[in-house]
Amino acid sequence: MLFYFTGTGNSLLAAHRLASSDEKLINMADAVNSGKFSYIVPENENVGFVFPVYFYSVPDIVERLCRRLKLKNQNYVYAVITCGGSIGGSGGLLREMLSKRNIELNNVFELLMPDNAMLFYNIPNGSEVSERLVNAEKNLSGIKNKISAHEIKVIKGRAAAKIGRTAYRLFRSTKKFCVDNSCVGCGLCAKNCPDKAIEMKGGKPHWIKDACTKCTACINRCPSKAIQYGKATVKRNRYVNPILGGK
Ligand SMILES: Cc1cc2nc3c(=O)[nH]c(=O)nc-3n(C[C@H](O)[C@H](O)[C@H](O)COP(=O)(O)O)c2cc1C
Ligand code: SF4
Ligand code: SF4
């Protein structure tokens, strides 16, 4: 059983590479939005959590699932956290959240992927992104072997994640999102938002929640590059993992 959360596809790609052919993939956003928090894990099946790090911490949707999750049967439990640089103490924070639900996290793997954090700075594109994707595939096969061997590791470092989580909370406002005239009204931003924070009104997106998970799906995946976050993002690159086919 593999729980995943993604904004721009990196963690979805990792989830697909790690899942066995008959393993169930559960989208954490769908689980939270539909209020499904209880699961029966098939006998001898691993439980995986695959998601991106935000502010060296855990995305809000992942936290909302983990704080209420109930698992019947648990075997080997692992997390693969994707990042643009480092996962910091996010693994320790996840371990703490899960242990409050009587779920023991046995290992956390860091997976370096292309950075999608274009709200803060200009992210790389071109060959740097391609190189990262090639290396990520190699790292994923190593991680898959360790998961198969049920490798166990002591998971530390939640202090840095707690500081990051405070910064993340302050940053979750949707106020700075806006849309320019190049919007073609396709509605993909609203469809792709895992937090249901966008509604189409009069053929244009409107942010209907004061705060969101800040996954960057809307701004990175808009086919017209019509969404901005203040003025700074106009000239910045966008990123979408090829697994999403540019959408
Ligand atoms: C709001 C936000 C915060 C982020 N914070 C971090 C971070 O603290 N450290 C890091 O290495 N990458 C950070 N990133 C980059 C993503 O974790 C990384 O690109 C990830 O692979 C994206 O996964 P996804 O494509 O599945 O959404 C951040 C991205 C966003 C949108
Ligand atoms: S995805 Fe882009 S073009 Fe499509 S409705 Fe949203 S802002 Fe407009
Ligand atoms: S509004 Fe945009 S950044 Fe916020 S959760 Fe939705 S898609 Fe992600």
Q: Where are the alpha helices (DSSP H) in 67-104?
A: 90-99
Give the tens place of pLDDT for each residue, 20-64.
989 999 999 999 999 999 999 999 899 999 999 999 999 999 999
Angle at CA of residue 215, ends 59 and 71, nearest 5°? 40
In eight-state DSSP terms, residue 126 is T
Structure token digits, residue 97: 């959240």
84 ligand 1 Cβ < 6 A:
yes
117 ligand 2 Cβ < 6 A:
no
Residue nearest to atom 1 of ligand 3 (CA): 197
198 ligand 3 Cβ < 6 A:
yes
Give the tens place of pLDDT for each residue, 187-215.
999 999 999 999 999 999 999 999 999 99
Judge contact between 78 and 147, C-beta under 8 A.
yes
pTM for the whole thing?
A: 0.97
pLDDT averaged over 10-residue windows placed end to end, the chain, 247 residues:
98 97 95 98 95 96 98 94 96 95 97 98 96 98 98 83 88 97 98 98 98 98 97 97 87
Q: In angstroms, what is the C-alpha Rg of the chain? A: 18
Compute, in angstroms, the gap from residue 184 CA to the centroid of ligand 2. 6
Ligand 3 atom nearest 198 alpha carbon: 1
Instruction: State the chain's maximal CA–CA distance in angstroms.
Output: 54
pLDDT at residue 135, rounded to an integer: 98
Compute, in angstroms, the gap from residue 118 CA to the centroid of ligand 1. 10
Compute, in angstroms, the gap from residue 116 CA to the centroid of ligand 1. 6
Ligand 1 atom nearest 239 alpha carbon: 25
Report which bound ligand comes closest to the CA of 222. Answer: 2
Compute, in angstroms, the gap from residue 73 CA to the centroid of ligand 3. 33
In eight-state DSSP terms, residue 212 is -
Structure token digits, residue 87: 């996962």
Cα–Cα distance, 75 to 23 (Å, whole number): 14
Compute, in angstroms, the gap from residue 204 CA to the centroid of ligand 2. 7
Q: Helix or strand or coil: residue 182?
A: coil
Compute, in angstroms, the gap from residue 38 CA to the centroid of ligand 1. 27
Cα–Cα distance, 11 to 158 (Å, whole number): 21
In eight-state DSSP terms, residue 135 is H
Residue nearest to atom 5 of ligand 1 (CA): 54
β-partners of residue 38 are 70
Q: Which domains does the chain have, with CATH numbers?
A: 2-168 (3.40.50), 173-244 (3.30.70.20)
